[in-house]
Amino acid sequence: MSFIEVLSSSQILFAALLTGAIYAIVAVGLNMVYGTMRLLNVAHGDIVMIGAYAAYWLFTQLGIPPVASMFVVAIFCALIGAALYKLLLKKMLARPGDVPHLEARSLLLFFGLSLLIQNLVVSLQTATPRAYQYMDHVYRISNLAMTGNRLLALLVAFFLCLAIAAFLRWNIFGLALRAVIERTDAARIVGVDVERVHLISLVIGFGAAGVAGVLLSMMEQFSPFMGFSLTIAAFIVVILGGLGNIAGGFAAAMILGAIETYGVALTSPNMRSILIYGVFVLALILLPKGLFHKRFKK
């Protein structure tokens, strides 16, 4: 395909939007958790993986279609988040200590968790990638062809983004969340229940990650090791969008989806990982405060 053909292809635009929307709902959880607790959850992508396997199991074993199971999976993943907070994180956050060391160490904790989750799933389900067929009827609009599951995934992802954004915008929790992200100690002084904000961030974030897993499982193969590249993508989105900036995150997710989809279309599928990790390294070094930093000055 020539350069112009790629740029004008509605097929590739659709793919870019879909990738971006999925990244947006994966990243929103990472953003809230890192923003409020300063804990970098590198196991976040593994929650997506759990969501994918849960949807697979519910569909193939119990016959529950993903369109219904996504609610169950969201609740299940949200409960994992709540359990993680109650059992491990609450204690760790309560312990006084110097912040950068705590942060770096907490990353090791999540890394351990990630190893644990991945290998438990391998033990239970083997490492072979899996897939199932669901809503794979092809719809055509002029020269754009898309399967029903992709259309559904795009709609659900967009709706979920809007719902989370609206909740944070109009519910008082959104204000508390922003206060905790800006300055936890000050938020505590003015009466914000910081522990509750932490818990709700994890619950919403993990729930959204679970839904992302359900959506991904309808469309493509998944394996126990799919999580880490998603964590990296989500992390790029968080950096570029700006910490705690949910709207900025959605924009950054769309940008990353476009970079990845168009980059691969113009070069080769082998370039996907190089693109993702390249953007990741550059973003961390060059733009640690994000693309939209100026507009967000305190």
Residue of 68, 75, 83, 104 interacting with another protein (CB under 8 A) = 104
Spatial separation of the C-alpha atoms in residues 218 and 56, rounded to whole Å: 8
115 is a site residue for another protein (CB under 8 A): yes
Nearer to another protein, 75 or 281 (CB): 281
Q: What x/- string results for residues 12 through 41 when contact with another protein is judged by CB under 8 A?
A: --------------------------x-x-
105 is a site residue for another protein (CB under 8 A): yes
273-292: contacts with another protein (CB under 8 A): 273-274, 277-278, 280-281, 284-285, 288
Nearer to another protein, 65 or 97 (CB): 97
85 is a site residue for another protein (CB under 8 A): no
82 is a site residue for another protein (CB under 8 A): no
Q: In Å, what is the CA distance from 83 to each residue of 76, 110, 203?
A: 11, 14, 9
62 is a site residue for another protein (CB under 8 A): no
Residue of 4, 62, 94, 99 interacting with another protein (CB under 8 A) = 99
129 is a site residue for another protein (CB under 8 A): no
Q: Is the dihedral of CA 224, 225, 228, 229 positive or negative?
A: negative
Residue of 107, 175, 247, 266 interacting with another protein (CB under 8 A) = 107
230 is a site residue for another protein (CB under 8 A): no
145 is a site residue for another protein (CB under 8 A): no
94 is a site residue for another protein (CB under 8 A): no
201 is a site residue for another protein (CB under 8 A): no
Nearer to another protein, 118 or 149 (CB): 118
Residue of 119, 144, 155, 295 interacting with another protein (CB under 8 A) = 119
Spatial separation of the C-alpha atoms in residues 195 and 263, rounded to whole Å: 42
108 is a site residue for another protein (CB under 8 A): yes
225 is a site residue for another protein (CB under 8 A): no
For binding to another protein (CB under 8 A), which residues are involved?
38, 40, 42, 88, 91-92, 98-101, 103-109, 111-120, 122-123, 232, 235, 270-271, 273-274, 277-278, 280-281, 284-285, 288
